[in-house]
Structure 1
Amino acid sequence: MLRRAAEKPDPERHGLRVVHLPFQIHPEIPPGGIEAGPRQGPMYAALEREAAQAGLPLNWPARLPDTRAALAASAWVRQHRPDVSDEFNRRLFAAHFALGEDLGDTAVIDRKAKELDIDLDALRAALADGSALASLTEAEALGARFGVRSTPSWLISGKLVAGLLPPSEFERLAESAMRQSR
């Protein structure tokens, strides 16, 4: 999964279309974030192993930010600049997990948007007037309708698949989806 985040996705590889939708898993995190605490256990070990295998830096931040604005920006960019949406998401991911930047800070969002020539005035206006948040709410409602409760999650041939899976499992699921569609 982390390896896939580092690579430019090839949605046509199996004839499938990948649509990234933002989904806030921890809406209880307040503005300013919360202390994260230790990252221990099998899930964290698997994430660290996958990141190392992919050559990705993984620096657990000390605080978990309120990501609502970043997710709303992601939803807005997906609708208004689909040509850079995946790259915007990768840069937000790297800002948080590699660079330790606070995704609750709008300056971080602005900087990542500016790097991709996203119209900052339009993005800021959408964040201010609530239209970006409405896009996020719509994406989250869609996810909730399909039972999304964690990230990452994928809907493949009507089946919800959640969690970190080995690349071979994604290959198997994609091939199965293609067989079902024939």
Structure 2
Amino acid sequence: MTAFTPSSPDKLRVDIWSDIACPWCYVGKRRFEAALANFPQRDQVEVVWHSFELDPAVAARPGQSMRAILAGKYGRSEAQAQQMLDAMTQTAAEEGLDYHFGDLQPTNTFQAHQVIHLAAERGQGDAMKERLLRAYFTEGEFLGDPEVLVRLAAEVGLDADEVRAALASGEHASAVRQDEAQARALGINGVPFFVLGGKYGVSGAQSPDVLRSALEQVWAETHPAPLTLLAQDAPAEGCEGDACAVPGTANQT
């Protein structure tokens, strides 16, 4: 599906494609939250999270360290890969995030995305997204284990048995695939990616100022302010509804 559900007249919908295993996605989430905090209509913004897998082929089982994976992916030495991780850790720290790449356990995120969809149905989508990102980048949790996902979901208020059953049945697998298909249809190749008002895209973990400016621009275009009448000496004749003023009289026809 490629169509967006339109926002209600008093809302601005922001669709965000993101992966739990993406360090810039956590940074982007914090920067978007900072932009939203300074946006006057923040209470009228509806955020919808969408699934995106940076590496759908990665194994679900524990494997190589993040440093070794980066070295192999970019053709760097492990020392150079560690420098990349150190730089990312510093960037995250500037946003108040505490990354521990040495403890991180890379894994497939397909099931974790399913849990977010279930949580969204229960009004806890953002809380679940936040909990999984912290578990992955800060706490070194192995998100390829369904029981770990069940425990983390229970921490944000979901029913453990319901989560366990949903994962076993793959109840929300199609929702994840639909998100990914929609991303391809829109030409989204990297994350985070923000779609504002169903028509404007912002790519990457942009600064809070850039994101707030985008929010303001789209809000102004989709929610125009009422006209302000300029001062005038006296009422002027005109038509309103099916009645028009008669020149020189107080009558209307």
TM-score by length of 2: 0.62
Query: Is 2:176 the partner of 1:115?
Result: no
Q: Secondary structure at the match of 2:131?
A: helix
RMSD over aligned Cα atoms: 2.6
Pair 151,125 (structure 1): closer, same or farther in 2 beyond 3 Å: same
Query: Is 2:132 the partner of 1:92?
Result: yes
2:174 equivalent among 122, 134, 139: 134
Could you tell me whether the CA contact under 8 Å between 2:105 and 2:136 is conserved in 1? Answer: no
Query: Is 2:110 the partner of 1:68?
Result: yes
Deviation of residue 34 (structure 1)?
Answer: 4.5
Q: Secondary structure at the match of 2:47?
A: coil
Letter in structure 1 aligned against 2:189: R
Determine the structure 2 residue equivalent to 1:56: 97
Please say which structure displays the higher CA radius of gyration: 2
Pair 44,172 (structure 1): closer, same or farther in 2 beyond 3 Å: farther
Determine the structure 2 residue equivalent to 1:78: 120
Deviation of residue 130 (structure 1)?
Answer: 1.9
2:209 equivalent among 168, 172, 178: 168
1:152 equivalent among 176, 186, 192: 192
- Measured in 2, the distance between the counterparts of 1:51 and 1:23 equals 21
Letter in structure 1 aligned against 2:92: A
Q: Which one has the bigger helix percentage?
A: 1
Q: Which moved more, 1:59-68 or 1:94-103?
A: 59-68
Q: Secondary structure at the match of 1:168?
A: helix
Deviation of residue 54 (structure 1)?
Answer: 2.6
Deviation of residue 16 (structure 1)?
Answer: 3.1
Corresponding pairs, count: 177
Could you tell me whether the CA contact under 8 Å between 1:95 and 1:101 is conserved in 2? Answer: yes
Give ranges in structure 1 of 5+ residues lacking alignment.
Answer: none
Pair 96,6 (structure 1): closer, same or farther in 2 beyond 3 Å: farther
Could you tell me whether the CA contact under 8 Å between 1:76 and 1:135 is conserved in 2? Answer: no
Deviation of residue 122 (structure 1)?
Answer: 1.8
Pair 122,63 (structure 1): closer, same or farther in 2 beyond 3 Å: closer
TM-score by length of 1: 0.83
- Measured in 2, the distance between the counterparts of 1:3 and 1:127 equals 28
Q: Which moved more, 1:148-157 or 1:29-38?
A: 29-38
Deviation of residue 147 (structure 1)?
Answer: 1.9
Pair 32,20 (structure 1): closer, same or farther in 2 beyond 3 Å: same
Q: Secondary structure at the match of 2:174?
A: helix
Could you tell me whether the CA contact under 8 Å between 1:3 and 1:50 is conserved in 2? Answer: no
Give ranges in structure 2 of 5+ residues lacking alignment.
Answer: 1-27, 68-80, 225-253
Post-superposition Cα deviations, 1:83-142, rounded to whole Å, max 9, x if no partner, equal: x22111101000001111111122221111111231222222221122121121122222
Pair 177,14 (structure 1): closer, same or farther in 2 beyond 3 Å: farther
State the identity %: 26
